[in-house]
Amino acid sequence: MGRLRVEAEFLWAYFRANLKIALEYRVAFWANVFAMLLNDLIWVTFWIFFFTRFPVVQGYDVRDILTIWAVAAFGFGIGVAIFGNCHRFAPIIAEGRLDYYLTLPRPVLLHLLVSQMSVSAWGDALFGLGLYLIVVQPSPPALAGFIAVSLCAGAIIVAHATIACSLAFWLGQAEGVAGAIHDAMILFSTYPTSLFGGIVRVVLFTAVPAGFVAYIPVRYLREFAPWQLGVMIAAAAFYIALAIIVFRQGLRRYESGNLVSVRV
């Protein structure tokens, strides 16, 4: 328990430092946030026009698709804003720059993930929360449920991106592959999962777990069945554990393969 408290304090200190650095350039900070808000708004406007023409698609209406976007944007925004390196550390591994993190008395993966903040992701987070408040006008318990499933979705997105970038331990220059996998995750997370069937649907709950972002949260926010929240928590725990295991296995290969070099 004491170790957990120490790591939480480390995470909080890094978050504050990253935010302070980002706010040193306030105009650039808010420009990035506004640009992402505008980008998300354009996509949502497209879906609103689409559902004006086709009111119901595979059981989804416009409120459902906007809920999908709210969950995905808020979860992604919070996750990537805090763990900003989760989808871009493949080059760090390939170029031997992981050595810096190995020399410090902190958990390597946690330190690596929090060492950068994605400023634009705050725009996603603000958009997702604002969209849900405007569209659903939730009660306090419903808002708490939205935040809970969104944070689980964000944890899954971060863990999946971590697994993708960890492929660099085996593939070397895996930045393109990791980017493609991450982009696929984000893309499918903003489409109704019921549009897909067969093997694609299986993939969306396993290799590219977008179903836990676009399907289960919407069902939970419709029905508020406790088991659905339980599934989200279990899925988040599973993918976090898998990300840690994959990274540690790769790290052993990195260390035993004489890739570690001392930077002077």
- Whether the CB-CB separation of 110 and 7 falls below 8 Å is answered with yes
CA distance 7 to 1: 10
Could you say which DSSP state residue 57 is in?
Answer: B
127: which 2 tokens? 């958009």
224: which 2 tokens? 């508020």
Instruction: Note down pLDDT in tens along the chain; length 264 residues.
Output: 678 888 999 999 999 999 999 999 999 999 999 999 999 999 999 999 999 999 998 889 999 999 999 999 999 999 999 999 999 999 999 988 898 899 888 899 999 999 999 999 999 999 999 999 999 999 999 999 999 999 999 999 999 999 999 999 999 888 999 999 999 999 999 999 988 989 999 999 999 999 999 999 999 999 999 999 999 999 999 999 999 999 999 999 886 554 444 444
Residue 255: its pLDDT value, please? 65
Side chain identity at residue 88, one-letter code: R
Side chain identity at residue 35, one-letter code: A
Using the structure block, give the residue that is written with the tokens 């354009």.
Answer: 42
Q: Taking the model in full, what pTM does it have? A: 0.94
Using the structure block, give the residue that is written with the tokens 């350039």.
Answer: 25
**5-55, pLDDT tens digit by residue?**
889 999 999 999 999 999 999 999 999 999 999 999 999 999 999 999 999
Residue 256: its pLDDT value, please? 53
Residue 262: its pLDDT value, please? 44
DSSP-assigned beta bridge partners for residue 57: 60
Q: Collapsing DSSP states into helix, strand and coil, what is residue 60?
A: strand
CA distance 138 to 36: 24
What's the whole-number average pLDDT of the chain? 93
Q: Collapsing DSSP states into helix, strand and coil, what is residue 243?
A: helix
Q: Collapsing DSSP states into helix, strand and coil, what is residue 163?
A: helix
